[in-house]
């Protein structure tokens, strides 16, 4: 059966899954940036930059309403801000884990973004109010993927765009080698730096549960997005899903 959403160990329903995810990110927040850069050998910076570049036309419009949802400690937000012109409307950067968000706010607060503590499945935003929603490595953690896509669709303007940067599992010989790193080496390094087992076992497990690109693209289409696509990054270790809320329904 296809995955409906994240299911951390011990979670029994969507509410307990969301709570476990929030607590996990709050607990690793002090070490999150360090772990991220060590575990990805800084390739994550390229992925954030590349994602922001993909939306540079929207970001260049001073009045564009932009949301970085699941912003965490704010590196995707910073990449988006590089494309904003002087005097542009602030980027909204939202997350439900306060410890992650407060670290992000320290980085992007003075650079033209506003922090918002909010749940991606219940955004405190008006229908049809955003030109662009971007999320980096957050979508996979939602307790219900379909509900997430529907909520993003609700708050996007007709013609508004969505970008979801997520890990993927590459195929072929590279995939086999990478699987050893991702499923064995990465949790061991994570455990060493963060002093606990859970979070870095959860990462490969959650990527394994996440829909493959064809399935994810189907879900995007059935939830109302048009022009859906997936661009692999770094041999498909990660990739960017894109879609548009159609202007004519």
Name the site residues for ligand SAM (rule: CB under 6 A).
18, 21-22, 25, 36, 70-73, 75-76, 95-97, 100, 119-121, 136-138, 141-142
Report the nearest approach of ligand SAM to the CB of residue 246 (Å): 25
Specify whether the CB–CB gap between 217 and 230 falls below 8 A: yes
CA distance 234 to 168: 10
Structure tokens at 226: 């048009």
Q: Pick between residue 18 and residue 65 the one whose CB is nearest to ligand SAM.
A: 18
> By three-state DSSP, how is residue 83 classified?
coil
Report the nearest approach of ligand SAM to the CB of residue 191 (Å): 17
Question: Max CA-CA distance within the chain?
Answer: 52
CA distance 112 to 123: 20
> By three-state DSSP, how is residue 211 classified?
coil
Report the nearest approach of ligand SAM to the CB of residue 179 (Å): 20
Q: Pick between residue 183 and residue 226 the one whose CB is nearest to ligand SAM.
A: 183
| Residue nearest to ligand SAM as judged by C-beta position | 72
CA distance 58 to 40: 28
Q: Pick between residue 141 and residue 168 the one whose CB is nearest to ligand SAM.
A: 141
Report the nearest approach of ligand SAM to the CB of residue 170 (Å): 19
């Amino acid at each position: 059966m296809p995955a409906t959403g994240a299911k951390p160990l011990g979670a029994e329903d969507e509410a307990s899954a969301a709570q476990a995810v929030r607590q996990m990110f709050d607990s690793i927040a002090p070490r999150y940036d360090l772990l991220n850069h060590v575990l990805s050998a800084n390739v994550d910076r390229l992925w954030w930059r590349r994602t922001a570049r993909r939306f540079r036309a929207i970001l260049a419009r001073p009045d564009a309403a932009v949301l970085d949802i699941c912003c965490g400690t704010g590196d995707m937000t910073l990449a988006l801000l590089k494309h904003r012109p002087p005097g542009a409307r602030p980027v909204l950067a939202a997350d439900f884990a306060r410890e992650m968000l407060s670290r992000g706010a320290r980085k992007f607060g003075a650079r033209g973004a506003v922090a918002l503590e909010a749940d991606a499945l219940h955004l405190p935003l008006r229908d049809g109010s955003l030109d662009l929603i971007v999320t980096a490595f957050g979508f996979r953690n939602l307790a219900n993927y379909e509900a997430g896509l529907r909520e993003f669709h609700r708050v996007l303007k007709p013609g508004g765009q969505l970008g979801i940067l997520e890990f993927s599992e590459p195929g072929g010989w590279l995939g086999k080698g990478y699987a050893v790193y991702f499923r064995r080496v990465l949790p061991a390094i994570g455990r060493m730096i963060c002093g606990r087992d859970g979070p870095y076992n959860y990462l490969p497990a959650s990527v394994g549960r996440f829909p493959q690109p064809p399935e994810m693209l189907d879900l995007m289409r059935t939830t109302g997005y048009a022009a859906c696509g997936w661009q692999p990054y770094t041999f498909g270790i990660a990739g960017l899903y894109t879609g548009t809320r159609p202007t004519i329904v």
